[in-house]
């Protein structure tokens, strides 16, 4: 794992040094502090502003920080980190330009279990992360080759989580629809699609790089079933319009006051998302059964 943040501007280095020092002061038994995400990958946005949706929008990339502890009671580290977050924000002279901070905390034994099992989120943190602090008392585990029973268990777990999320967003779509909030219904349908595709990617690969672009998401799973072409065929101008609508709903459905979604649009999109749901359920259950048969 990398250890240097010398490539970052001095202001970001000062921020991160303050965070490390404050965590070490406030969080007992901190063993490691790891920077991950855009600042670790060096593809962060330092500050961006543009006039969008009839108002000035600001964007600054978050600091994503994993704090690894040992021997703390469940949830106690998070309470301490809330204090650190408050201290961090209180020192900001220009809040709009200050990178937000996002903490996650894990016990070192649990983290090493996740790494040993190749859990995609933590494996990615280890691969891309930068070690800001290391007590040297523990070593991070290496990903090992899983047997089919473990693959089966992980695939089943991921499927149940993401498929349930997709169903929940379908239910939220119905709620929004019944209240005639068709813009929010379009966003919820986008999220349903996203979670159904996440379920497929995780069942078939046990990995799921973060992505919201529906074109890229569908392209990433189309190899697993020819039926995906039936969901959003885009063989007519109207089909292309509907796909563009649900694709842009991730942002526009929440923020754009001029984004127009009609009842008829949602009536046309709901069966498509229902078809995606059914395809997801069928191919995922078949793949999970295949893993189970190899145990």
- What's the pLDDT tens digit per position in 167-220? 999 999 999 999 999 999 999 999 999 999 999 999 999 999 889 999 999 999
As a whole number of angstroms, the distance between CA 107 and CA 104 comes to 11
Q: Where are the domains of the chain?
A: 10-134, 148-293
From 23, 26, 1, 29, select the one nearest 107 (Cα to Cα).
29
pLDDT (0 to 100) of residue 183:
97
pLDDT-derived band at 56, boundaries 50, 70, 90: low
Shared fold status for 10-134 and 148-293: no
**DSSP strand pairing (63-69 vs 101-107):** parallel
- For the stretch 257-265, contacts whose Cβ atoms lie closer than 8 Å and that sit 24 or more positions apart, written own/partner, are 257/53, 257/54, 258/53, 258/54, 259/183, 261/182, 261/183, 261/185, 261/186, 262/182, 263/177, 263/180, 263/182, 265/182, 265/186
Fold of 148-293: 1.20.120
Fold of 10-134: Beta Polymerase; domain 2 (3.30.460)
pLDDT (0 to 100) of residue 207:
95
pLDDT (0 to 100) of residue 71:
87
Q: Which two tokens stand for residue 123?
A: 């494996």
pLDDT-derived band at 246, boundaries 50, 70, 90: very high
Per-residue pLDDT for 66 more than 70? yes
- Predicted TM-score (pTM) of the model is 0.86
């Amino acid at each position: 794992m990398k250890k240097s943040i010398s490539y970052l501007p001095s202001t970001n280095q000062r921020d991160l040094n303050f965070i490390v020092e404050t965590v070490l002061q406030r969080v007992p038994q901190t063993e490691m502090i790891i920077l991950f995400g855009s600042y670790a990958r060096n593809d962060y946005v330092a500050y961006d502003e543009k006039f969008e949706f009839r108002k000035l929008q600001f964007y600054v990339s978050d600091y994503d920080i994993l704090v690894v502890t040992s021997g703390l009671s469940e949830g106690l580290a998070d309470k301490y980190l809330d204090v650190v977050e408050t201290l961090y924000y209180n020192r900001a002279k220009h809040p709009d330009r200050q990178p937000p901070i996002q903490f996650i905390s894990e016990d070192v034994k649990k983290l090493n279990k996740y790494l040993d099992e190749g859990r995609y989120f933590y494996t990615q943190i280890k691969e891309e992360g930068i070690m800001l602090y290391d007590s040297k008392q523990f070593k991070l585990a290496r990903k090992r080759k899983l047997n089919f029973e473990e693959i089966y268990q992980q695939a089943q777990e991921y499927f149940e989580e993401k498929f349930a999320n997709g169903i929940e967003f379908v239910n939220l779509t119905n709620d929004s629809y019944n209240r005639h909030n068709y813009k929010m219904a379009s966003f919820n349908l986008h999220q349903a699609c996203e979670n159904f595709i996440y379920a497929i990617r995780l069942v078939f690969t046990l990995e799921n790089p973060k992505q919201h672009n529906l074109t890229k998401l569908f392209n990433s799973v189309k190899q697993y079933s020819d039926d995906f072409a039936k969901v959003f065929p885009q063989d007519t101008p109207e089909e292309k319009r509907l796909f563009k609508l649900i694709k842009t709903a991730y942002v526009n459905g929440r923020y754009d006051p001029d984004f127009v979604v009609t009842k008829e649009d949602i009536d046309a999109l709901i069966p498509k998302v229902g078809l995606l749901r059914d395809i997801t359920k069928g191919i995922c259950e078949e793949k999970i059964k295949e893993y189970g048969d190899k145990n």
